Amino acid sequence: MAKMNLLQAINSALDVAMAKNDKVSVFGEDVGHFGGVFRATSGLQEKYGRARCFNTPLVEQGIIGFANGLAAQGSLPVAEIQFGDYIFPAFDQIVNETAKFRYRSGNEFNVGGLTIRTPYGGGIHGGHYHSQSPEAYFAHTPGLKIVMPRNPYQAKGLLLSAIFDPNPVIFMEPKRLYRAAVGEVPEEEYTLPLGKAEVVQEGSDVTVIGWGAQVEVIERAAELAKKDGVSVEIIDLRSILPWDVDTVAKSVMKTGRAVVSQEAPHTMAFGSEVAATIQERCFLYLESPVMRASGLDTPYPLAHEKEYFSDHLKTYEAIKRSLNY
């Protein structure tokens, strides 16, 4: 075991994958000698050469188009989109090509070896174009998997699973935690299951569901609730496509209350899907409506980030609304 921050865990996962299989390559904007804007790929070009870790032009649709072609030939490309906010020029390639390659051919060919890494989320004073949480756009697309880790240990194990999973995966990394989240991480290879949630903390009064960086926010809210005598069960979805309905439903049927906490804007965010599914599966067990804590329905503001941000106080208030209904 070694102490790593989330960036170092990502780098370690890429290093392990590239050492394990020569078909793994890493590319994107500035990922080569420079190591990427966050240095997630530091040292990989020096270790594995310019043919397996290299820079691309600043053209996101080209990065993913190239990655689709490479994956279609049996390679295992790991394409980096520098910020989640920049992924939209590649939207057509991802939702109309990456997600549908296998289906359009009756599984004669596919791009299942493709992994797309991108940092998401706010809390870094990044303003409109460096703070968004765009996971819901892609969660509406059959044929993709979407993974969002909460800490270094989860990040390495889930990324290794994503790289070698036989389906295309969008791996969304919480940039706010890149250097803030530190933990013990095995230096060797290990994997964690995709599509399987984890009960981070057991409780009896209310279930709070989140993913990615929001899990740390939920843990802080649960501490406040604990002072009020409220026992909070915390679930980290880890994957939002597919997501683990059974684990969530089992928990909500036990506690009778549910809160979904997310960083994205409120309307039509992935939390809405979670809330709708809970009421379908757990309606007769619910003691109150499913509550949501979210960002605001505005573009991500620079000057008012603190007011916009879906922090622990918003989640704590949602817990109280659920309990006091």
Catalytically annotated residues: 60, 130
Give the integer Cα–Cα distance in Å for 216 and 174: 11
Give the integer Cα–Cα distance in Å for 264 and 292: 11
177-192 CB burial, b ≥16 within 10 A, e <16 = bbeebebebeeeeebb
Give the integer Cα–Cα distance in Å for 236 and 177: 16
Q: Residue 206: left (phi > 0), alpha (psi -120 to 50), or beta?
A: beta
C-alpha 315: how far from chain center: 19
Q: Is 276 exposed, middle or buried (0-12, 13-18, 19+ CB in 10 A)?
A: exposed
Q: Which residues, in sequence order, are CB contacts of 201 under 8 Å at separation 6+?
A: 219, 222, 232, 233, 234
